[in-house]
Each structure stands twice: as structure tokens, then as C-alpha cells.
Amino acid sequence: GNIKHLERRDTCIQLDFDNLSEEMISRAVSEIINNPKYRDNMRKLSLQFRDRPMTALQSAVYWTEYVIRHHGAPHLQPASVHLPFYQYLLLDVIAVFIVSLVVLAYAIYYIISRILAALKCNPDGRYP
């Protein structure tokens, strides 16, 4: 997740929580403090994060006012808001899948029973 992404960008060192030791922590902290690439890469990442046209508070105020101006902004709502609950929960797909499995199981049962019946039949066509 996030730690792997930051580790690939050389901004942190991931430690295995299950096998954590004092030596591993000491080595990781020492590496981060003494190696300038971590500081430089974190500064670049910080500049990228802060390079925004407005602050987080200004953005929150803007979007709140936007939704008020556009009466709830229905054009920004996902299509899933308007789906019936059975489609939203994929119950229709699950039902088709279950019905298909039942039909397949019955078809296999029917075929096997007909084969077994044919094998049990006497030459004159009667059961023993």
C-alpha cells in the first residue's frame, strides 16, 4: 500500500512488524538520518503535495458552496445511487449464477441416471 509506494520513492524504510528488533529500528533510523537521499526525496514529495491552487480548508469551503449552488450537484452523483438495491448488491447476477448451477447439476444428474439405467437394463429392455 502506501508504505510500499513511499519505499519505492526512497522516502522511507519499511520494517517487518512481526520480526521487529531494537537493532533493526536503530539501523533504519541511522540510515534515514545519515543518507541524504531520504531527506531530499521527502522534500520533493512535500513540495509536490503543497503545490496546490488552494488550501485544504479553501477546497472544502469551495466544494460545500458548489454543492449548495447546484442544489445537491446531482450531476456529480455516481450512477449507483439510482440503481435498485438488488442491482446495487448484484443480487440479480448472483441469482442467475445460482440458477445456472442448479440447472447444470440437474442436467448432470439426469444424464448420469439415464446412463446407469441403460446399463442396468436387460437385453429385452426390462430392469432386473
In a domain, 121, yes or no: yes
SS3 assignment, position 92: helix
In a domain, 96, yes or no: yes
Q: What pLDDT does 125 receive?
A: 58
List the one residue out of 127, 97, 99 whose CA is nearest residue 113.
127
- Angle at Cα 37 formed by Cα 32 and Cα 42, nearest 5°? 80
Number of domains composing the chain: 1
Q: What pLDDT does 124 receive?
A: 62
In a domain, 68, yes or no: no
Domain interval for residue 119 = 83-128
In a domain, 59, yes or no: no
In a domain, 94, yes or no: yes
HSE-up of residue 19 (Cα within 13 Å, Cβ side): 4
Read off the pLDDT of residues 25-63 as tens digits, 9 standing for 90 and up.
999 999 999 999 999 999 999 999 889 999 989 999 999
In a domain, 120, yes or no: yes
In a domain, 105, yes or no: yes
